[in-house]
Structure 1
């Protein structure tokens, strides 16, 4: 069975957008916070400029501008060029092209057009640095808001929104500059609670290193920029090579010829490579459902055994195409920014990590004896130790409190392999505690004032739930990777209608001072294929359990 990896929006080349069916205005080449260049056509004004750090930005508003602007923060882009030889990841060339709204990176301006036509303003920066750029994005967004208000002085409300890393930018803007932000939309949000995302990517790469290729790097990249980039590209190539070989051995259980001595010993013991692949996914917390693997369907003739024995590993294999590549890019960039190693598993108890999955996936793991053998192999593999000084710098570069102080809509997919749904659950759990504290404070205040003022809900969580069945199979019995992607899977695959629904909800709450009662939210969410279910929850990060 051959597995191919569809190019993720996270690592695609960002296309230059043609805006609102009018000519794109040139962005000043000089890095300065000068007045933007603007032009008006068909009652729509577009402005292009560059911030003080040279980051290009775009601003758009129509003659019927209603005073509310949506400030968009785009998702992560690699900070290095990636050659075509690393397809499907490459080719990619570093770009800081500005994006005025969701889906515009691919040239789809339906959301931007709809918002502008409805009277909203839109704006977005390209940021001066790519990859981990929270500091740069914060400065650019603050400057962009000022520039927009200067050009459109009737601006009254600002909604910060973004997807993936852009959601972190939006949340950071709201936390650090609450006077500038009135509402927030976080789509497929990234966050870094207790370095959970570092562990997510690091654990996955460590598992691949321990079992399938001991030359794979988990961390410890060179400080020289050229050497570091060469190491990153080599690591991506190794991860893709291992994935290809694992794909070829899924049915037979064959191991890659690059397997570590520990891996070869497991192979000699009769443990199939797919069991080790599943263990890696389990210890990192990678979803066991993917874009084309629902975990419950099977091909003709294996409808009962395939979901139990093979499907979980196939899902991990497809998801690892994103996780392994992203980890190779992000961990190296984190080390660059902090000056040392940032991933540490020297004290990680991987047996505890997989304990809850041992019975659920017993067949796919090849039984408890196989799990014990694989955990023994991990225990014999040298661990990674971070640099304490580097780790201490992470909160200043990335850290969020997760506090919800403004009307906020979060959209997340249940089986997102890049920014796991556990991030959304972190926000939910944090806000539950925050709301409970506010309620207790209101009760305490009412004892003296005799006037109870109930706290107002400021969070709406919209889930793209993973469908029970969506897998399709080829005549040969392999998953059809060209089939429609399953609902609730993949990274930031929200439709224009879903983005617009979230925008409308938060704009309404900003104007009304609160979200509507549950019924209208449930109905609005259902119309665009999302779910508003306050009882639904997903597991927290395994590294936080």
Structure 2
């Protein structure tokens, strides 16, 4: 349905003369392969000397359409806007992998080499991307600052893949221990991801059947700091039972694959073992650090359950160790540090249940420890779901980063300033789609000033 909407929106914009302006039509497009990986380069006739290096996201579902190697396809008007203003764009259709790999990084750098060989040496390269692509962007900027001028990672698992998957592993372990002890759902060593996901899905749904199971669902989610909010067009729920329903939807339709299905199986297959562990984890301490603690305590009180007993059960359950080789490989390939070497502006939703907002705090705290805070600014939108930004919000973030690169100083990056910039753009740049309500709306910018809570289990810890 989302793809049908994007196609329809593109057609409407074309009719209105907005999706195909003269500069877009006159741009030079270069397509080819790096090895076997497709790439696209697009250069407007009046190039401003900047290349935007796009890194796409990850889709866990086998057979799903491959993401485009070019700029953010969520927004039909964005490509034309960028070309109108002289930005060149480049990117590869790198292979689906659940973490940033050295192969992806090499291919993204190689497309810059192709740009120089076939067009000219860029004056500036801005790396940007969403989700996994945001992590790729961060790794590129941290490890290759001589090639990247600035970075705009959006909705990224910016604390690194080890921490990201440990958080999901804690959620899966709690569900398995407290709700599914008698069921054969696997949380590691998954050999048949389709069958395992088919076992998990009805069990996730059954967690809504009683106040007790709703409370345990929320407790499990709290270990990953997963927010109970899914609809990008609706406010954060205030009713606790509705919050449990939102957690079900997140686990069933967004992060379930990363815990029980293709995403988890793909991760272990690529790494040759399990990179996640909970040996040494104290789940009492984990709940105490969680941003979702209050919801858990209310649901347990409403259900008449003893929270301390369930935490003791989790702490007493047999723990699972990681394969050290898998951890070492995942760390070497995709670890981020907060050593912010180039001007970087991150963009994240406060209600992101796939890559939680608390990871952004970890990154900022690490940057401060390295003395690199001057290179980092972080922008947030008060909205549910993963990577749900409007084109106007992305443009506002890009322009703020460009100001830092142009002048050597950050302009005002408060929510008020970014909102003013974003709201200057017309309706075609402010369309938001709802994954769950299956609808669209034109929305104002939702920037908010916030300092997230600390991540419960960062790595290293």
> What is the TM-score when the length of structure 1 is the normalising length?
0.70
- Decide whether aligned partners of structure 1 residues 295 and 190 sit closer, same or farther in structure 2, where only a CA change above 3 A counts: closer
Are the equivalent residues in 1 in contact too, given 2:41–2:90 (CA < 8 A)? yes
Are the equivalent residues in 2 in contact too, given 1:70–1:123 (CA < 8 A)? yes
Q: CA-to-partner distance for each residue in 1:461-511, whole Å, 9 max, x for gaps?
A: 11112xxxxxxxxxxxxxxxxxxxxxx210001111111112222223222
Q: Aligned-pair distance for 1:355?
A: 3.3
Are the equivalent residues in 2 in contact too, given 1:160–1:183 (CA < 8 A)? yes
Q: Following the alignment from structure 2 to structure 1, what is the Cα–Cα distance between the partners of residues 161 and 30? A: 40
Q: Following the alignment from structure 1 to structure 2, what is the Cα–Cα distance between the partners of residues 389 and 352? A: 28
Are the equivalent residues in 1 in contact too, given 2:222–2:296 (CA < 8 A)? no
Q: Following the alignment from structure 2 to structure 1, what is the Cα–Cα distance between the partners of residues 119 and 404? A: 22
- Decide whether aligned partners of structure 1 residues 359 and 74 sit closer, same or farther in structure 2, where only a CA change above 3 A counts: closer
Q: Following the alignment from structure 1 to structure 2, what is the Cα–Cα distance between the partners of residues 515 and 364? A: 44
- Decide whether aligned partners of structure 1 residues 192 and 235 sit closer, same or farther in structure 2, where only a CA change above 3 A counts: farther
Match of 1:331 in 2: 264
Q: Aligned-pair distance for 1:96?
A: 4.4
1:350 aligns with 2:286: no
Q: Following the alignment from structure 2 to structure 1, what is the Cα–Cα distance between the partners of residues 66 and 241? A: 41
**Aligned counterparts, 1:174-189, within 5 A:** 174-189=141-156
Are the equivalent residues in 2 in contact too, given 1:341–1:386 (CA < 8 A)? yes
Q: Which residue of 315, 326, 332 maps to 1:390?
A: 326
Q: Aligned-pair distance for 1:157?
A: 0.8
**Aligned counterparts, 1:142-541, within 5 A:** 142-153=109-120, 155-193=122-160, 195-213=162-180, 214-221=183-190, 228=191, 231-247=192-208, 249=209, 252-253=210-211, 272-291=212-231, 297=238, 307=239, 309-321=240-252, 322-328=254-260, 329-355=262-288, 361-366=296-301, 370-435=306-371, 457-465=374-382, 488-517=383-412, 522-528=416-422, 529-531=445-447, 533=449, 536-541=450-455
Q: State the superposition RMSD in angstroms.
A: 3.1
Q: Following the alignment from structure 1 to structure 2, what is the Cα–Cα distance between the partners of residues 527 and 284? A: 34
Alignment gaps of 5+ in structure 1 = 1-5, 22-39, 82-92, 222-227, 254-271, 298-306, 439-455, 466-487
Q: Following the alignment from structure 1 to structure 2, what is the Cα–Cα distance between the partners of residues 527 and 177? A: 30
Q: CA-to-partner distance for each residue in 1:205-249, whole Å, 9 max, x for gaps?
A: 11221133331211123xxxxxx3xx11122222221122234x1
- Decide whether aligned partners of structure 1 residues 97 and 527 sit closer, same or farther in structure 2, where only a CA change above 3 A counts: closer
Q: Following the alignment from structure 2 to structure 1, what is the Cα–Cα distance between the partners of residues 24 and 408? A: 34
> What is the TM-score when the length of structure 2 is the normalising length?
0.82
Q: Aligned-pair distance for 1:371?
A: 0.8
Match of 2:28 in 1: 45
Match of 1:98 in 2: 68
- Decide whether aligned partners of structure 1 residues 400 and 200 sit closer, same or farther in structure 2, where only a CA change above 3 A counts: same
Q: Helix, strand or coil for the counterpart of 1:203?
A: helix
Tell which has more relative contact order, 1 or 2 (C-alpha 8 A, sep 6+). 2
Q: Helix, strand or coil for the counterpart of 2:306?
A: helix
Q: Aligned-pair distance for 1:388?
A: 2.2
Q: Aligned-pair distance for 1:99?
A: 2.5
Are the equivalent residues in 2 in contact too, given 1:163–1:492 (CA < 8 A)? yes
Q: Aligned-pair distance for 1:351?
A: 1.6
- Decide whether aligned partners of structure 1 residues 400 and 216 sit closer, same or farther in structure 2, where only a CA change above 3 A counts: same
Q: Following the alignment from structure 1 to structure 2, what is the Cα–Cα distance between the partners of residues 393 and 458? A: 28
Q: Following the alignment from structure 2 to structure 1, what is the Cα–Cα distance between the partners of residues 285 and 54? A: 40
Q: Following the alignment from structure 1 to structure 2, what is the Cα–Cα distance between the partners of residues 523 and 372? A: 45
Q: CA-to-partner distance for each residue in 1:526-545, whole Å, 9 max, x for gaps?
A: 44324363xx3111221148
Q: Helix, strand or coil for the counterpart of 1:430?
A: helix
Q: CA-to-partner distance for each residue in 1:391-424, whole Å, 9 max, x for gaps?
A: 2222112212222121211101111000100121
Q: Aligned-pair distance for 1:147?
A: 0.9
The aligned length equals 418
Q: Following the alignment from structure 1 to structure 2, what is the Cα–Cα distance between the partners of residues 532 and 355? A: 25
Q: Aligned-pair distance for 1:518?
A: 5.3
Q: Following the alignment from structure 1 to structure 2, what is the Cα–Cα distance between the partners of residues 349 and 379? A: 6
Alignment gaps of 5+ in structure 2 = 15-22, 423-444
